[in-house]
Chain A
């Protein structure tokens, strides 16, 4: 049970009891609800617009008629995207990359966070410091680039997988969550003769599924939306097959820009046909995440608040 919902229910109860409520607050409630409703529309409408554009005919887009409802319904744009080798491969590749990165990242995060909860781990404080220090000071873009160059990772998929596979913040969240697991459980398992690994698998991992789901989402979103590392590290034309969807989309948009005036006047798109296709590509690049996060949201809000209660 998340604490956020807890507060909601207490608020709800207060309202139902009718003890504290006055007419004044009811007006306030409506104003607040209205404000939040408008903000919601602000968040949602751009995506609805993109959806409408992707389902419209090319003519309607050229006339700029489309607002929130498609004009000249058709799914040609989606068909085109799904039959264009370049787009399909880019989507597949990004999906593969995202899954691989998430699995690797979450495994390493658990491996990194779990030993640190042992208070008698020798050298634990030092390791802790090593990890936390990188949060406040990093070498910078160019040293990282030179390192990848020297390791021979430039223009290979590794440059998008390895350099960011552990996030210190996620390690801290994971560790905090592990701390929240009662020590007595661990001690009980240890008395039964379980070693640290067994304790991890049998006690800690089953109890921390919410936080694992949450952090997996964070890692997956980071990789799926990641763009600058690919831009910087995939430079040769041979590496084009490794372009993730975001970089490919960026290039498509940038290439369709022709002159400076056109940028100012027409946005980044040159003609109607490619506009619908670009909108369809945008849908493909966002929908996977937009479909997943509301389901995991329950977990991550719960994860956060369980931690807060335990702390």
Chain B
């Protein structure tokens, strides 16, 4: 997560969308003011302020922005120039625009990737694991948040929240070192307690289940923050009205709580669909073991092994570009779909 910005920390994104359903409220207020009273004059006068006065008054703002902009240009936009390498011969000693075009009018590496069985397997694994995460993993924090919301003991709730956030703060290296110990086939603790010898991480199918389970274990509690914050936005009068009408607890959840967090769920669904081809690195990489490579090798690991370890830079740049483009397309498509159904969407 730390390395690749494509992996969206959903909670953070949500914080933004809940805080500012209509971006940005203050600015909107100013515009309203501008249309009416005398403040209008002041505002338009401000925007017609001559450059020298403007710079004297607000120039320091640009000074503040220098370093962040240098950062974005250098570390986010310059690499985009190197994407060109995906269409060129494999040579990173020269700048990519000086290298000759690759064969097949530049698309050689893409063709090569799609003929490569390892890549196709990685692609399948990525999509499969992400789909499982989406279908099984996404409802969990919602259910958990509903339970937390219904919890009647405030002090217990606070302690529970703290404990439930704990796994989020463990790194995948730590988690893999703990779980490979707990889940080992013969003398793993869980098998010992159960008196069985289930290969939790030994076969591909079981490994996938463990992978999904650990993902839920790590992020479920943390992701409830999103939904709990959304739940606070529900008007309490709705609950009171439902109670007056004699609604049971389940009916209240179904008719008040869930509709109240529907737009949140949709936004997260859009983001998740947008990342159906995005792949984490740490999670499959650390949890993997030689027995289950067939299930655990995702695109991110493919890129790491071929590109950084194997120096096939052009091929892995092409794969990365394919991944980024598909991500953007999925994000745009799912956002458009959500809007078609009358939801707010991400933007």
Contact = CB atoms under 8 A, between A and B. Distances in A.
Decide whether A and B are members of one complex. Answer: yes
Interface of A: 3-12, 15, 20, 24-25, 28-29, 32-33, 35-37, 39-40, 42-44, 46-47, 49-50, 64, 67, 108, 111-112, 114-115, 117-122, 127, 130-131, 134-147, 149, 162-173, 175-177, 179-180, 183, 195-197, 218, 221-229, 232, 235, 246-247, 249-250, 253, 257, 260, 263-269, 278, 282, 285-286, 289-290, 293-294, 297, 301, 304-305, 307-308, 310-311
Contacts of B12: 167, 169-170, 172-173, 218
Nearest to A295: B162
B186 A265 contact: yes
B211 interface: no
A243 B228 CA distance: 38
Contacts of A308: 18-19, 229, 232-233
A134 B72 CA distance: 8
Contacts of A228: 2-3, 281-282, 285
Given A35-B147, A134-B77, 17 more contacts: A6-B232, A40-B160, A40-B164, A43-B167, A115-B65, A130-B72, A134-B5, A137-B327, A140-B320, A142-B82, A164-B5, A166-B68, A166-B71, A297-B161, A297-B165, A304-B15, A304-B19
B187 A266 contact: yes
Interface centre among A120, A142, A247, A282 (most CB of B within 10 A): A142
A152 B331 CA distance: 35
Contacts, number: 363
Interface stretch (B23-31, B112-120, B130-138): B23-31
B166 interface: yes
Contacts of B291: 260, 263-264
B100 interface: no
A120 B249 contact: no
Contact of A32 (B46, B81, B151): B151
B317 A143 contact: yes
A183 B27 CA distance: 10
Contacts of A20: 243
Nearest to B148: A36
B68 A119 contact: no
A69 to B, nearest CB: 13
B171 interface: yes
Contacts of B184: 264-267
A64 B164 contact: no
Q: Interface residues of A: mostly helix, strand, loop or mixed?
A: helix
B152 A305 contact: no
Interface residues of B, number: 130
A5 to B, nearest CB: 7
Interface stretch (B121-129, B303-311, B337-345): B303-311
Interface string B168-202: 01111110111111111111110011000001011
A141 B173 contact: no
Contact of A138 (B46, B76, B170, B172): B76
B61 A183 contact: no
17 contacts: A11-B152, A44-B166, A108-B67, A111-B67, A134-B76, A140-B79, A141-B300, A141-B308, A142-B307, A143-B83, A169-B13, A179-B27, A253-B176, A269-B181, A304-B15, A304-B229, A307-B18
